[in-house]
């Protein structure tokens, strides 16, 4: 009895997917819950597992096909199943029927089978061997279609077909310098959403800089104790920025709001999107209720997001519902950038590389570890005063982390 393999539910608002790769082929056996096919959605790659042990009987949706939720992907036969049937060997050349008693049949050809499907005569075989002629290229005119010496001579005397003209050298060089690869579904979605943000939002970016010295000193002093107490969770910089943004969003709620038609939707929670690089592209998993999370919870969740993004194991519902986002181009060496809003959100904070720079401190020049911050925002809903003030609050919290503890 066959079991249908269907497209599973893909998550909120996701109704279609593209068949990215069949991990198992027709005739191969699989164990229960073993991945058999990968589907690529607008957000992540999803593996479809075998509902039972058995053999892949048929594939109904080839790689590259677009399928809807519930559509048939293929069928799975119950039981261990049989291995794929091997290809039948080419038919061997046979001697002429009813050979005379005491007469040995001619030896089989040493090369490929002739086009006629019959063996060459001994003299013809010898000539083909000497001339290195493939028997498959010679038509036999002898008894039962066997190849004669005359057939071989006629083949030798027949002019070879002129080879196809080679492509011009310049054309071959151009072809070798280019490679066309179809965009993945995720990459196309990223492109469409970023263009949508540019076309829809009145996007503007404001900048500031922050002295990372106090946070770096705090991290250096407590990172070992922190990791030991919280069972391997490492203390990074991202949790400080998440907490700083949460405090600033409470003070400036428009930065955490969104536009819906002719209404502004203010949110009494903070779902913080954290941009993470994956092999398929940039994804933004969401820390839900980040305003209710402490530093160990934030660091643990972000580390988990990063690992599962690299493994392609993020779930669809973890990539939606964000109200504000943070992206850190500094991990790749970016010194300054203008991040693009992730619709329908109204703002995104960009972190960058920590760079030692000479700064005026107390009337003296000191070398300080500085980071440029960028806040891109939708000017339709967020005024310049709010955007600049929000970024100043983030800067103040990072330069004096005690403000976060005292909620000031």
Q: In what order do the strands lie in the sheet with 45-49?
A: 45-49, 35-40, 16-22, 66-68
Bridge partner residues of 349 (DSSP): 326, 375
**52/190 Cα distance (integer angstroms):** 35
Residue 344, preceding peptide bond in cis (omega within 30° of 0): yes
* Of 118, 383, 400, 407, catalytic: 383
* Radius of gyration (C-alpha) of the chain in whole angstroms: 34
Q: What is the distance of C-alpha 36 from the center of its chain?
A: 17
CB 137 within 8 A of CB 154: no
383 labelled catalytic = yes
230 labelled catalytic = no
| All residues at 6 or more sequence positions from 247 whose CB lies less than 8 Å from its CB, including other chains | 393, 397, 403, 404, 407
| All residues at 6 or more sequence positions from 7 whose CB lies less than 8 Å from its CB, including other chains | 17, 39, 48, 67, 68, 69, 70, 71, 73
* Of 291, 379, 400, 407, catalytic: 379
Nearest to 64 by CA among 93, 39, 46, 82: 39
DSSP annotation of 118 reads: S
CB 342 within 8 A of CB 325: yes
H or E element that contains 76: strand 72-78
CB 321 within 8 A of CB 345: no
Phi-psi region of 380 (alpha: psi -120 to 50; beta: other; left: phi over 0): alpha
**394/372 Cα distance (integer angstroms):** 12
Catalytic residue annotation? 379, 383
């Amino acid at each position: 009895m066959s079991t249908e393999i269907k497209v599973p539910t893909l998550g909120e608002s996701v109704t279609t997917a593209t068949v990215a790769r069949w991990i198992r082929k027709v005739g191969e056996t699989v164990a229960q819950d073993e991945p058999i096919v990968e589907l690529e959605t607008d957000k992540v790659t999803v593996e479809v597992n075998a509902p039972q042990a058995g053999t892949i009987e048929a594939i109904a949706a080839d790689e590259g096909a677009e399928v809807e939720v519930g559509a048939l992907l293929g069928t799975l036969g119950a039981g261990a199943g049989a291995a794929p049937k091997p290809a039948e060997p080419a038919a061997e050349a046979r001697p002429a029927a009813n050979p005379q008693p005491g007469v040995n049949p001619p030896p089989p050809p040493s090369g490929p089978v002739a086009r006629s499907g019959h063996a060459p005569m001994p003299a013809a075989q010898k000539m083909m061997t000497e001339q290195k002629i493939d028997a498959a290229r010679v038509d036999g005119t002898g008894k039962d279609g066997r190849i004669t010496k005359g057939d071989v001579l006629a083949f030798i005397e027949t002019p070879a077909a002129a080879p196809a003209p080679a492509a011009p050298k310049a054309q071959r060089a151009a072809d070798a310098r280019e490679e066309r690869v179809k965009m993945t579904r995720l990459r196309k979605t990223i492109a469409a959403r970023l263009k949508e943000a540019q076309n829809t939002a009145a996007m503007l970016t404001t900048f500031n800089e922050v002295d990372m010295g106090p946070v770096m000193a705090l991290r250096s002093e407590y990172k070992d104790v922190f990791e030991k107490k919280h069972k391997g969770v490492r203390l990074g910089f991202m949790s400080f920025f998440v907490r700083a943004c949460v405090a600033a969003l409470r003070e400036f709620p428009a930065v955490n709001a969104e536009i819906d038609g002719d209404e502004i939707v203010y949110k009494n929670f903070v779902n913080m999107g954290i941009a993470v690089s994956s092999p398929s592209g940039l994804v933004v998993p969401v820390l839900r209720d980040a305003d209710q999370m402490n530093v160990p919870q934030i660091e643990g969740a972000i580390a988990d997001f990063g690992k599962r993004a690299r493994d392609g194991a993020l779930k669809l519902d973890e990539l939606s519902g964000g109200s504000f986002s943070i992206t850190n181009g500094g991990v790749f060496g970016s010194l300054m950038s203008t991040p693009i809003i992730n619709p329908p959100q109204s703002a995104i904070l960009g972190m960058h590389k920590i760079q030692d720079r000479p700064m005026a401190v107390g009337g003296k020049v000191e070398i300080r570890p500085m980071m440029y911050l960028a806040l891109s925002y939708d000017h339709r809903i967020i005024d310049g005063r709010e955007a600049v003030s929000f970024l100043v609050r983030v800067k103040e919290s990072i330069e004096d982390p005690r403000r976060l503890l005292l909620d000031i």
